[in-house]
Amino acid sequence: MSTKIHLEQYLKTTKAKGASIPIGLQELLIAVANTCTTLSDEVAQGALIGLLGSAGTGNVQGEVQQKLDVIANDLLIEGVQECKALAGLASEEMELPMPVQGTGDYLLLFDPLDGSSNIDVNVSIGTIFSILHKQNPIAALQNSDFLLSGRHQAAAGYVVYGPQTTMALTLGDGVVMFTLDKATGQFVLIKDRVEISPTTKEFAINMSNMRHWAEPVRRYVLECLDGVTGTRKKDFNMRWIASMVADVHRVLSRGGVFMYPWDQREPNKPGKLRLMYEANPMSFLVEQAGGASTNGKQVIMDIQPQDLHERVSVMLGSKEEIERLQSYHA
Ligand code: AFP
Ligand code: FBP
């Protein structure tokens, strides 16, 4: 790309389905991006500024919080306080939503630091965000306002803190990617139409859980493992980073399938990943890049949430593979 297009410029000039991006949404996305720029610097410094290790606290899910989980959460809350169109926010790390302006067009949901187990070992981590259209912008914010399916997202994206800091973003009309230019502090457009190939030879799943999976997922993975002499007639490769952001970034970059399925250890829990903070934004990105996502029974973005911190089984990526997984669940 010869002339560099920055995120701000992109948001000002681009059209999603023929319409300009509302100023309030632009402001919110810039505020999130600016916070992620700060976070990228902090992540890069790690032990030098005392950021590694546990915070000694637990979150609403009962998980031990790392220092960076807490810092990222605080930075995001602080970063979006001035956004005029932001009625409220909700975070994977907080039990209850928090009002920002109380009224306004948008609701922000985020997983401030995804892949916590990778922080201390210097492996890619990320921030995931989802922006919902508030159904009644002028009514005072209520907690139930957040319980909207993924189809109500105005925008979604993630920032991966890896060898490069890269943002993937959808405004409902395709997916674009920006990489942070550390010299200028600007996110620069690097891909203006991300497409996931419908076929793939790569899958991602935590194989150590195989004995706990349901039969359709076992069948799918075992067929992949059978290789060129098996029913699939091709050799598959496997990757597992244990940061959904980094694994999904690979899927958006070169295709593949990412799975975190239901497993029998917790039969009454639908899955491990969170619908509102992880599965919905990632599904929006993947669908907009021509891929698909399912929990086995339903397209993820069609699920009507009952609870802010609801969990879900997730299978997403190359379309033909997701269709195959769906057919195994039928
Ligand atoms: P955190 O929310 O604690 O950062 O965990 C992230 C995550 O849920 C998701 O990003 C990964 O896909 C998954 O953990 C990997 O963890 P395991 O393979 O160890 O279950
Ligand atoms: P490169 O030298 O091509 O970067 O390959 C690196 C590597 O040999 C090891 O770092 C890594 O353990 C291995 O590739 C992983 O590759 P695979 O799982 O595909 O064999």
Q: Is the pLDDT of residue 64 over 80?
A: no
Q: Assign residue 56 the CATH number of its domain.
A: 3.30.540.10
Centroid of ligand 1 to alpha carbon of 260 (angstroms)? 9
pLDDT in tens, 288-326: 999 999 999 999 999 999 999 999 999 999 999 999 999
Give pLDDT, residue 147. Answer: 98
Domain hosting residue 35, numbered range: 7-191
Centroid of ligand 2 to alpha carbon of 206 (angstroms)? 18
Among 14-18, 73-77, 212-216, 235-239, where is mean pLDDT lowest? 14-18
Q: Model's pTM, two decimal places?
A: 0.95
Task: Kindly give the number of the ligand 1 atom that is closest to the alpha carbon of 118.
Answer: 4
Task: Kindly give the number of the ligand 1 atom that is closest to the alpha carbon of 258.
Answer: 12
* Cβ(116) – ligand 1 distance below 6 Å: yes
Task: Kindly give the number of the ligand 1 atom that is closest to the alpha carbon of 63.
Answer: 3
- Looking at the structure, do residues 171 and 286 belong to the same domain, yes or no? no
The answer to whether position 215 is within a domain reads yes
The answer to whether position 197 is within a domain reads no
pLDDT band at 278 (very low <50, low <70, confident <90, very high): very high
The answer to whether position 221 is within a domain reads yes
pLDDT in tens, 180-199: 999 999 999 999 999 999 99
Contact by Cβ (8 Å): 111, 92: yes
pLDDT in tens, 15-28: 999 999 999 999 99
Give pLDDT, residue 221. Answer: 98
Give pLDDT, residue 270. Answer: 93
End-of-domain residue from the set 191, 213, 235: 191
- Looking at the structure, do residues 213 and 266 belong to the same domain, yes or no? yes
The answer to whether position 2 is within a domain reads no
- Looking at the structure, do residues 14 and 148 belong to the same domain, yes or no? yes
End-of-domain residue from the set 191, 220, 249: 191
Average pLDDT, the chain: 96
The answer to whether position 1 is within a domain reads no
Q: Assign residue 208 the CATH number of its domain.
A: 3.40.190.80
Interface predicted TM-score (ipTM) of this complex, two decimals: 0.79
From the CA of 235, which ligand is nearest?
Answer: 2
Does 149 count as an annotated binding residue? no
- Looking at the structure, do residues 72 and 187 belong to the same domain, yes or no? yes
- What is the pLDDT averaged over residues 223-250? 98
CA-closest candidate to residue 115, choices 125, 105, 103: 125
End-of-domain residue from the set 191, 218, 241: 191
pLDDT in tens, 231-242: 999 999 999 999
* Cβ(115) – ligand 1 distance below 6 Å: yes
Give pLDDT, residue 156. Answer: 98
Q: Give the separation between CA 195 and CA 208, rounded to whole angstroms.
A: 30
- Looking at the structure, do residues 143 and 208 belong to the same domain, yes or no? no
- Looking at the structure, do residues 287 and 323 belong to the same domain, yes or no? yes
pLDDT in tens, 121-167: 999 999 999 999 999 999 999 999 999 999 999 999 999 999 999 99
Task: Count up the domains in the chain and report the number.
Answer: 2
CA-based R_g, the chain, Å: 19
Q: Is the pLDDT of residue 49 over 90?
A: no
- Looking at the structure, do residues 228 and 142 belong to the same domain, yes or no? no
pLDDT band at 57 (very low <50, low <70, confident <90, very high): confident
The answer to whether position 196 is within a domain reads no
pLDDT band at 55 (very low <50, low <70, confident <90, very high): confident
* Cβ(243) – ligand 1 distance below 6 Å: yes
Centroid of ligand 1 to alpha carbon of 42 (angstroms)? 21
Q: Give the separation between CA 201 and CA 131, rounded to whole angstroms.
A: 32
Q: Is the pLDDT of residue 2 over 70?
A: no
The answer to whether position 99 is within a domain reads yes
- Looking at the structure, do residues 12 and 56 belong to the same domain, yes or no? yes
CA-closest candidate to residue 311, choices 265, 285, 280, 284: 280
CA dihedral 301, 37, 32, 242 (to 10 degrees): 20
- Looking at the structure, do residues 227 and 101 belong to the same domain, yes or no? no
- Looking at the structure, do residues 135 and 235 belong to the same domain, yes or no? no
The tokens describing 78, both together, are 């602080």
* Cβ(206) – ligand 1 distance below 6 Å: yes
